[in-house]
Amino acid sequence: MNRKQFFLGIVLASLIGGFVAVLGVGFLQTNQDSTTNFTEKQNASLVNWLSDDKFVIPEGINFVASAAQVTPAVVHVRSTVTTSRSQQGVDPMEELFGFRSPRGEATPREGKSTGSGAIISEDGYIVTNNHVIENASKVEITLEDNRRFTARVIGLDPTTDLALLKIDANNLPFIPFGNSDEAQIGEWVLAVGNPYELNSTVTAGIISAKSRNIGILRDESNMQVESFIQTDAAVNPGNSGGPLVNLNGEIIGVNTAIASRTGGFSGYSFAVPSSIAKKVMDDLLEFGTVQRGLLGVIIRDVNADLAESIGEEVKADRGVFVDKVNEGSGGEEAGLQRGDIIIGIDGADTYTTSSLQERVARKRPGDKINVKFLRDGKEMTTTATLKNVSGDTKVVVKTIPKITEFEGVVFEDLKVEYKARLELEGGATISSIDNKSWKDAGVQEGFIITKIGRIKILTGEDVIKALKNYEGEEVIILGVYPNGQRSYYELSL
């Protein structure tokens, strides 16, 4: 073979290799939309993430590689929320009915809430905190390269303070989920976010503790799950929803809270572990709502005060005391009894309520778990089938509210979570307004209509019927904003 043939062969091989690579990338992108979890989505992208076999942390600590890897995928989240503005004077409608008008004591106006988020797939899915976007009528995402998008809320989970957003973009940098189980106390981690509107801020610290319960989450059904990773990486207002990453550039937590008496960082911050965050994101992606598997027991930590509290001897120094077993629950069917002390789930030690909750929160209704427990000091095991809040193993599917439109105003049937929180039988939420009369009246997007004149409103269709009924007249529209503020508006139809 002469030199000319040799070089010609190299060029030909390069062209063939490039053609195959382009076809492969196109094939993977085409098939990404059919995935139902983020493991498949992340594995389907040809991204050279840092891993043990590709990257070795040099002697000493290398924050540079991890920071460079993750910062392009950390976003700024801005939420538009309806708030109140105090004014002088008393409104007779407020005195009589408890409703506030635009001329009353509190006028609704748009407020802003900011936080952070992490892109977790190349097609624009983003994880953040529920409290960052709670009650928002609009959510805007700003990328590191300053591109701005309006995000759709795919799903929320107040019980873990997590939310999944989606922007219409492709070929985005993203951060893969790591395994928070493998994270160790004393391990270096980075917190990335936008504290005090300072974009792409990276702070470093170590993991100070795991499975930490600090009592900040509240849920009407008492189903909140707190099993935070505690770290001393500096986290401040604006960091909420941003990723906590290891030195391999993987998400091991979602920064959620700080321990502070001043409102600023005072030494400790807390992140939802990726073991929970990944499962919640997969549920929201596939079902639009979280599939919560329940063992069906009321529990408390074994500690020095427990025996005195319950008035009986506790034959263990640590573990999770079963105070009550709910009738018909998976725990009852598995043979658990009051007084049992659970010390392990699926081979992992669970010596605290938070660690037990974390293990169970990873599961869906119908999943089986192996439970290790003590009864009268004797170690025993059983297998329990988890159930949902209804007491069965069915998958809960999110109901998509019906949307109706009338003369440029779009109405959406009231979501179930608002019915419960605001104690409403029904209503219709205004999702967008492109009508001069409504804008001049001062109505804001997000307002929930509960009554038009004398007609009770339960759905968007009720709104349409009522508006047609009062056509050509002046009518009073009553309702409430997501923050609980009740208001009314005078509208000429």
Q: Has 34 been annotated as catalytic? A: no
Is-contact 131 240, C-beta < 8 A? yes
User: Phi, psi (5° rounding) for residue 81?
Assistant: -130, 140
Q: Has 240 been annotated as catalytic? A: yes
Angle between helices 274-287 and 353-361 (to 10 degrees): 30
Instruction: Give the residue carrying structure tokens 């936080």.
Output: 115
Q: Buried (b) or exposed (e) across 192-219, using 16+ Cβ within 10 A?
A: bbbbeeebbbbbbbebbebbbbeeebee
Q: Has 161 been annotated as catalytic? A: yes
Provide the residue type at 157 as one letter.
Answer: D
List the catalytic residue out of 91, 123, 157, 161: 161
Is-contact 119 173, C-beta < 8 A? yes
Q: According to the model, what pLDDT value does residue 92 have?
A: 41
d(Cα 423, Cα 427) in Å, to the nearest integer? 11
d(Cα 340, Cα 449) in Å, to the nearest integer? 50
Is-contact 37 80, C-beta < 8 A? no
List the catalytic residue out of 116, 131, 208, 354: 131
From the list 247, 188, 226, the residue with the least C-alpha distance to 354 is 226
Q: According to the model, what pLDDT value does residue 91 have?
A: 45
pTM of the shown model: 0.73
- pLDDT digits (tens), the chain, 493 positions: 555 555 555 555 565 555 555 455 454 455 556 677 888 887 776 455 555 555 565 555 678 989 999 999 999 999 987 665 544 444 444 433 444 445 444 555 667 889 999 999 999 999 999 999 988 878 999 999 999 999 999 999 999 999 999 999 999 999 999 999 999 999 999 999 998 888 889 999 999 999 988 888 876 667 888 899 999 998 888 899 999 999 999 999 999 987 766 666 667 899 999 999 999 999 999 988 899 999 999 999 998 888 888 888 888 889 999 999 999 999 999 999 999 999 999 999 999 999 999 999 999 999 999 999 999 989 999 999 999 888 888 877 776 778 888 888 999 888 877 787 788 889 999 988 888 889 888 888 889 999 998 899 999 899 999 989 888 888 999 999 888 888 889 988 7
List the catalytic residue out of 211, 240, 269, 487: 240
Residue 131 annotated in ligand binding: yes
Residue 161: C-alpha distances to residues 225, 238, 247, 257, 276 (Å): 9, 15, 25, 10, 11
Residue 401: half-sphere exposure toward Cβ, Cα within 13 Å: 23
Is-contact 361 292, C-beta < 8 A? yes
Contacts of 308-316 with CB under 8 Å at 24 or more apart are 312/339, 314/341, 315/341, 315/374, 315/376, 315/377, 316/341, 316/343, 316/374, 316/377
Q: According to the model, what pLDDT value does residue 18 have?
A: 55
Residue 239 annotated in ligand binding: yes
User: Phi, psi (5° rounding) for residue 334?
Assistant: -85, -5
Give the domains, in start order, of the chain with CATH numbers.
3-43 (no CATH), 64-287 (2.40.10.120), 297-385 (2.30.42.10), 403-492 (2.30.42.10)
Residue 238 annotated in ligand binding: yes
